[in-house]
Amino acid sequence: MLDGSPTRTMSYHPEVGAGVADIDLSERTALVTGATSGVGRETALALGRLGATVFVHGRDRDAGRRTASAIDDTSGNAVFFRADLAETDTVRRLADEIRARTDRLDVLVNNAGAHFSDGQLTDDGVEKTFAVNHLAPFVLTHDLRNLLSDDGRVVTVSSAVHRRADGTFDVTTLDGYDGLDAYAQSKLANALFTIGLARRLDGPTANCCHPGFVPSSGLWRDASVPVRLGVGVLARLPHRLVSGFVDTSATAAETLVYLAASPDAADVNGRYFSDCKPVEPSAAATDDRLVRELWSLSEELTDVSWPE
């Protein structure tokens, strides 16, 4: 949260905390993945209140329509797109649907994410956390890159949990699977992807961020019973008791909204943000060797080839 923001309440708006409440996005189009609940929904609503046309993505049709209707009731316009991001083919179909709807995209927020306590392989033969959290943004951004405006922005949601990861992307086997380790590796991949993407985009910028710890987020719906119980307790505690280490979905959306809308972030590229400020990620997250290796692995796993 930027200094001087008002007290956080249930009706708190993230664009206020991000310092962009007076920004006009009425001529901008944004796609927010995972926008039917949690941080993604708050981000989509904020961009809509700023006047943007918002493409709302999610898996739940009813929740997606509710989010789109809420945006339509403000200053924005919204269209809902339903897609499961676990498989490359469905990600590419989503991109096709977006391209059929618009010839310009100003903001792409890669927010959708998942955490699985039990290891699963997708039909593509890839560990599911890695597929949803990294390969989906990798493919979606590739397929939409030609729609990005010259001053467009790609915002990818990473996490401070990336610091737990060592960059060993053994993602075609479930041997020794640990849900938190898999999640951490996928969030490290988000940071490394951002650096590689920033080097390849000519005009648009790419940044990533840690939104905060949000117990109320749907991210934990597939976690183990003990994890779900723990975050459930934290989600129910009064915010004043846990505000030092727990965010609401609205306060966690601040940095995403800042990167999507703030003039101060317009020329920032390839950085990792927290609390609306650039911070240093782990050493692994800026390792050039890992950037190159992850990029090659991602192209191999998705059969997608990015131009250098």
CA angle 29, 86, 222 (to 5 degrees): 105
Gap between the Cα atoms of 293 and 219, Å rounded:
27
Neighbours of 104 (CB within 10 A): 12
Locate all alpha helices (DSSP H) within 118-220, ordered by sequence. Answer: 128-130, 136-144, 179-200
Q: Map residue 256 onto helix, strand or coil.
A: helix
Locate all alpha helices (DSSP H) within the chain, ordered by sequence. Answer: 14-17, 38-49, 61-72, 88-101, 128-130, 136-144, 179-200, 225-236, 239-242, 249-252, 254-261, 288-302
User: Which DSSP symbol is given to 257?
Assistant: H
Known catalytic residue at 183: yes
User: How many residues are there in the chain?
Assistant: 308
User: Which DSSP symbol is given to 21?
Assistant: T
Gap between the Cα atoms of 292 and 169, Å rounded:
12
- Token output for 32: 């927010």
User: Is the Cβ–Cβ distance between 31 and 91 less than 8 Å?
Assistant: no
Gap between the Cα atoms of 243 and 222, Å rounded:
25
Gap between the Cα atoms of 162 and 282, Å rounded:
8
Active site amino acids: 183
